[in-house]
Amino acid sequence: MTSEIVENQVQDTAQLIAQTVRDFAARQIRPFVRDWDESQHFPLETMRQLGELGLLGVLVPEEYGGSGLGYREYVGAIVELAKVDGAIGLSMAAHNSLCTNHILTFGNPGQKNKYLPKLATGEWIGAWGLTEPNTGSDAGNMKTVAVRDGDDWVLNGSKNFITHGKSGHVAVVIARTGAPNTAHNATAFVVERDTAGFSGGKKEDKLGMRASETAEMLFQDCRIPDSQRLGEVGDGFVQSLKILDGGRISIAALSLGIAMGAYEHALKYAQERQQFGQPIARFQAIAFKLADLATTIEAAKLLTYQAADLKDAGKPVTKESAMAKLYASEVAVKTADEAVQIFGGYGYIKDFPVEKFYRDAKLCTIGEGTSEIQRVVISRLLLP
């Protein structure tokens, strides 16, 4: 097959998946967005339906029950979800690119056989714990420890701000196994929900992304067998950085979807809302805002798909995924801000959709590395 035919097939598959997600979101998510947001309901049943559609194992090969697709299709699916509800997009992103992808990338065949089919089908929801109360950006300095005891490891400590920290059936947990402030001092483990000594803690009451559960994970003398270790002792932090390279593409996609959703509402409203006897879109001040938003969204799209394509080609993507995440997340915040402005007073009211985009967008400049940390990552690669 020529590369052109392969590329066309990839485009067709990506479009088909995007259409499927669009239809699903219109039927199964849009009617409930406001309720879930207000009550902070994490819709486990909707996650299961995403699993049935193959959206919880997008990158997982078919032999493990996944969809066996690439980042281009994955990005398209998250964009479509996030146009309707960023919170569901965030949950899909965390499940796929953090927990599931960590096991896929660094698990041994036994671990992959045990966990990937359950995660890819949505039978189990996954969590990924790196962040701790005192170590977010400085994650390499984590306090949660895993101590070797015969054939087991004993975990003590806590992780916070973890997506699906309470409801996740299984978590990849990164814990310190070496001396503080030394290189290669962390190791990754898979911990199942019903393991003694592992519990969910406080569920956070958030500004946005409220239907995506964010909670603490607590470990108190939590004993797990060495067979639950992912990869080599000491490789946990380096593994996490590699996982975040892919994860940031999903946050770029999430940002892009939020920006597109907010923009589409603003574009429509600007043509409907009449002031001074004409649609507000006729005022140059509003038309130019729309022009600027459309232009920056297009640039965010190009950066995001560039990172996705590099990842699919197996090329290094650290700089490009950080650039895509940095830029797209800031475009999402700016777009949602301007969408509220275009809606005027109605933008500030919960009966209209844009105030939620405004609240949801802000997470994108924080999760999986803040904008400041993306600039650290990018500048380090520019200035070796």
Ligand X SMILES: Cc1cc2nc3c(=O)[nH]c(=O)nc-3n(C[C@H](O)[C@H](O)[C@H](O)COP(=O)(O)OP(=O)(O)OC[C@H]3O[C@@H](n4cnc5c(N)ncnc54)[C@H](O)[C@@H]3O)c2cc1C
Would you please indicate which residues are annotated as catalytic (active-site) residues? Answer: 368
Tokens of 219: 């470990």
Instruction: Kindly identify the residues of this chain, within the stretch 100-159, that bind ligand X according to CB under 6 A.
Output: 128-131, 136-137
Question: Is 274 a residue that touches ligand X (CB under 6 A)?
Answer: no
Q: Please answer whether residues 71 and 59 qualify as being in contact, where contact means their C-beta atoms are separated by less than 8 angstroms.
A: yes
With respect to ligand X, which residue has the nearer C-beta, 240 or 270?
240
With respect to ligand X, which residue has the nearer C-beta, 107 or 367?
367
Question: Is 368 a residue that touches ligand X (CB under 6 A)?
Answer: yes
Question: Is 373 a residue that touches ligand X (CB under 6 A)?
Answer: yes
CB of 36 to ligand X, least distance (A): 15
Q: Please answer whether residues 118 and 169 qualify as being in contact, where contact means their C-beta atoms are separated by less than 8 angstroms.
A: yes
CB of 135 to ligand X, least distance (A): 7
Question: Is 96 a residue that touches ligand X (CB under 6 A)?
Answer: no
CB of 362 to ligand X, least distance (A): 9
User: How far apart (Å, rounded) are the C-alpha atoms in residues 179 and 267?
Assistant: 55
CB of 354 to ligand X, least distance (A): 20
CB of 98 to ligand X, least distance (A): 6
Q: Which amino acid is at 181?
A: N
With respect to ligand X, which residue has the nearer C-beta, 131 or 296?
131
Residue given tokens 């802000």 in the structure block: 362
CA torsion, ordered 24, 28, 34, 36, to nearest 10 deg = -110
User: How far apart (Å, rounded) are the C-alpha atoms in residues 156 and 153?
Assistant: 10
DSSP β-ladder status, 186-192 and 152-163: unpaired
Q: Which amino acid is at 232?
A: E
Q: Please answer whether residues 279 and 272 qualify as being in contact, where contact means their C-beta atoms are separated by less than 8 angstroms.
A: yes
User: How far apart (Å, rounded) are the C-alpha atoms in residues 90 and 278?
Assistant: 39
In angstroms, how far is CA 244 from the centroid of its own chain? 10
Instruction: Kindly identify the residues of this chain, within the stretch 190-249, that bind ligand X according to CB under 6 A.
Output: 206, 209, 214
With respect to ligand X, which residue has the nearer C-beta, 94 or 332?
94
User: How far apart (Å, rounded) are the C-alpha atoms in residues 232 and 106?
Assistant: 9
Interaction pattern, residues 20-59, with ligand X; x per rule: CB under 6 A: ----------------------------------------
Span interacting with ligand X, options 223-231, 291-299, 326-334, 366-374, rule CB under 6 A: 366-374
Q: Which residues bind ligand X (CB under 6 A)?
A: 94, 98, 128-131, 136-137, 161-163, 206, 209, 214, 363, 366-370, 372-373, 376
